[in-house]
Structure 1
Amino acid sequence: MAKEKILVIDDEESIQKSLSLVLAGEEYDVTVAGTGKGGLEMLEQGRYDAVILDYKLPDTDGINVAKIVREKDPEVAIIFITAYSSIETALTVMKLGAFDFLEKPLQKDSILSALKRSLLTKKFLEKGKEALNRPSILVVDDEHVVRLGLEESLRSAGYHCKSCGSGYEAIRKVEEELFNIVIVDLKLEDMEGTEVVRKIREHFPEMMAIIITGVPSIDSAVAAMKSSAFDYLTKPLDPEDVVSRIKLGWEKHRQVILVKQLLHNLRVTNLELEKANQKLNTLSTTDYLTLLYNHHHIMDVLEIEYQKARRFHSHFSIMMADVDHFKSINDTYGHQTGDKILAEFGSFLKEQVRSIDVVGRYGGEEFCVILPETDTAGAVVSGEKLRQNIARKTFTLADGLTVSITASIGISSVNDEGVNSVDIMLNHADGALYEAKLRGRNRVICWNEIKEKRRELPGNSASETAVADYERYASSTAKDLKNSYIQSVKALVNALDAKDGYTATHSHLVSHYAGVIARRQKLSEEEIDIIKTSGLLHDIGKIGIPDSLLKKEAKLTEEENVTVKRHPETGARILGPMGFLQRELELIYFHQERWDGLGYPYGLKGKNIPFGARLLAICDAFEAMTSPRPYRKVPFTAEKAIDIIRKEAGKQLDPTLVEPFVEGITEFLSKENKIYIKDLDKTVTLPRS
């Protein structure tokens, strides 16, 4: 039989040597590591049956190591050892699912007992439900006739049964084969039956024991019960009575075992859920291209840092860094290379800043660096160092060619004049960045520098007016650019609608419905505009899907489905580079996610899906059902579509939004039967009940 493998992780050489000696003497295959990192490297090389782990390690916390061990192998037996025990420590390790917890200095008997007990429990959990429904039985009696007769009767009753004639042999067999029930004679040649039960229970407390005797007495009955035996039978044995008592006893005993197994499964499930939630949280805060924080999360961090700086009267600055001449890079090398450079640029930014700084992609080729506890002067020093390092950096292209880039950087600080919100800080940083571009790019400008320059101009009031005009002009220009961009994208939407007569008004209607419901939810006008724009552009990625698929009447093949399911990501690639629609981009990217986590592209679940995307999903579904499609020439009535939407609450759709949608759309359709779509110069008849 293969030796059971034990990994010991402890930085004390004396512990390593003593455990190696003791465990090797018990026929275990022992490996030792002196650090958490070393132990995890051992685990990467092979599977272990048990890990004996010090609570305090030189390079990390034993708890962190145990969590990683559990992720790699949820079934492994973990035993913690520590020189500093407390109730809190014990609770922490047991909540993690440790099989045992021992105090230093270690005693040989205690460590062997804990290890055997843990390994036996592990074996039991691995045996699963089959053993619970048909337990295995070991008969221990030094009378050959009694032993064989009882063994034969139990096998005839359908039990897996073996027998032996001594206590020591019984203990060995249980450790090797893990029997569920032991029927043991009270008087054996080598030891008392109660002693056999006690020794087995030391290692496996879930074992069910039945004591039998040919010399019944009150004392022997009391001794049997004190040993925690379930039953006490006297010879000569009635086979039917024995089977009946086993059935009765095991049914009660198995309920206890099932609860323990359930708790174990819950622990494993909780670990898996925790891991999945961590992944979902990462996805919801991470930019898909650069793997930095996304725009939404950056805004959250900015608000937190702003409030903290105001509360504690501390410093806090932000840098907006924009890749110079990025359009030329895309035009020269292609968008795929441009994306690669952006991803590498983002990684480089993260390497260059402090560990307390926060780096994210603000939009397109623009990045935001949040600098806690940093005033304007400190931010300028950091920005200049960053600018120089970017200029020295070379980026390697797919064909082996290299390209150098520069970046313009704008800086603003929380204590700048006139700052009373995050939005103003961002406007100042953007204004400084814009000034850096105007001055020839590849430079660092802070907002204070612009303000100082204004004060130096002759005629202070006139310069105040000039700067105010400049600020209004910059803001107006940005809005004009955004509006022009949206108009260009609308042309793409109209081109998409023209590809498929069945969906000629789909995006416009989804946008309209979403705006109606968003307004009923009392969202701000800004939020409503974001949701409406997202509704208009949500299917823009379908521009890359062949007409034959969009118009196909038959069921799509698996390969065709994969093509169609790429449209949110394609949409993000079309809209992402401009940087104007970052909040809309998030809703477009996730509008095909499902409340139950079975959607795409990432399988986000519940409230991990952005609110606007959840609202769009309902509007999208309603409009699709109430309009003709290649696979369904006759559209559903509004009433039938609403009925289906209600059935999908909690599955495909957000249950907290379904009824507000139903109320809103019902009221809207009761008042309107047609709407005019200005972009298409077309009047559309709305669905009726």
Structure 2
Amino acid sequence: MTISDKKVMIVDDSKFWRMVLQSVFAKLGVKQIVVAEDGMKGIETALRELPDIIITDYNMPGISGLQMCLYLRSIPAFKNAGIVVLTGSDDVINEFWAEHSGANKFISKLLPKEALESELERFVSNDYSTSKTKEAFYVTNIYDVLEQKMRTEILNREILSLIEYARDELYVIQKFKNFLEFFSRFTGLAFMLLSPVEGRIYNFGLPLGKTVSKERLLRHLEKPIEPSDWSYFGNFGSEFNVDGLETVVVKYQENEIGLIAYEGASDKWSVSKVLNEASESIALLFNTLNSFRELKVASAVDGLTGLFNKKELLRFLEETHNLAKFNRTIYYVAMFDVDNFKKVNDTYGHLVGDEVLKAVAAILKEEIAGKGIAGRYGGEEFCLVITKAANNDEVVEMIERILERVRNTQFPHGKCTVSCGVVSSEGYESPTEVIKAADDLLYISKKTGKDKASYMFLPKNREINQVLRREQT
């Protein structure tokens, strides 16, 4: 767009300065010049005429030049418009408000005429323009601007209020979903949050499978963060595609930290407008959730293996036990120990030993995925808490598969095996008793040949003690 094609608006309560500025822009070849006598009329004229360049005095009766900038910048149509604020000798401008006013440039009226003309010519030559599309322009007068500003403040305040609950991410996501449903109904809605330690997908109605959901959502990002692990929440289907999926990328400081995806919105215009107006608050909310997740993972995960540490493992075990008692269900605990691990460390060094632990941990993590958690209990000892197994046979199959995979893995030093003890929670009053029973069975496996698992799904302490006494005699 050339200078002659641009529309310039001059806002100044001084008739003298309006005439001076009109003369300057006419000399520069600007053919479309509109004027306003104060800030209120400036906003009304801008809404009606949609100028590409706005030159406004700073100090005017009623609404100042800075206030007018703030109003206009709150409207998407004026996002890329060029705004200059002219200052007089008596104007004292706070640097903070000047920086956040939305003005592109401040120019002093005290400059010599030639210098002022030169500054304005350079400015108007830049690529500034106002959008004329309906999507970017949805207010018609100053009262609509004020109402829109109020709406935006309320939307942002509502979203930012969720930050205080950031420790409970599922609760926050559920509340955010409910918030969006005030503006539109959806046939499907999903949220993806990305941090280096973990990616999370919350699905509310999209019929996609877990892996397909991840792949499909990641397509809409240019340079997404690559999490080391993924978690999925909600009900996932088996479809490979959905029609009419709308997505909004969530960015924080230019980093893509999340995505909002939806289909079948009953009011696309409203939900799109809400997500646009509250984009900065949504980004701050998502970033806060990611930060809390990183802190949580850092405090709960073993640094070497990436499995849960003993403290988090025991916390989960206690919660699982209490829930099982309340629901009258059972769970399983499997204790593992790397066979002859001291010999590996003594012969090949601790670095090789660490690689062995990491490889075993990776196998445990893969096998337990979606069925419970894996943790490092201490040293070369690991623990599985299996919460989603259909029956004893399924547990046995999983444990034997783990033993086989470890047995057939090529470690840095060669071959390696693990021993295991497995119990169900049935008949035990406390999680401590369950884990002790599994540890006792692990001891039996170690003493009776290693590279094997010992099972007792309806164990009694006295029965285990009898077996232990026989092994010791």
> TM-score with structure 1 length normalisation?
0.32
In terms of fraction of residues, the more helix-rich structure is 1
Structure with more contact order per residue of length (Cα contacts < 8 Å, sep ≥ 6)? 2
Q: Larger C-alpha radius of gyration, 1 or 2?
A: 1
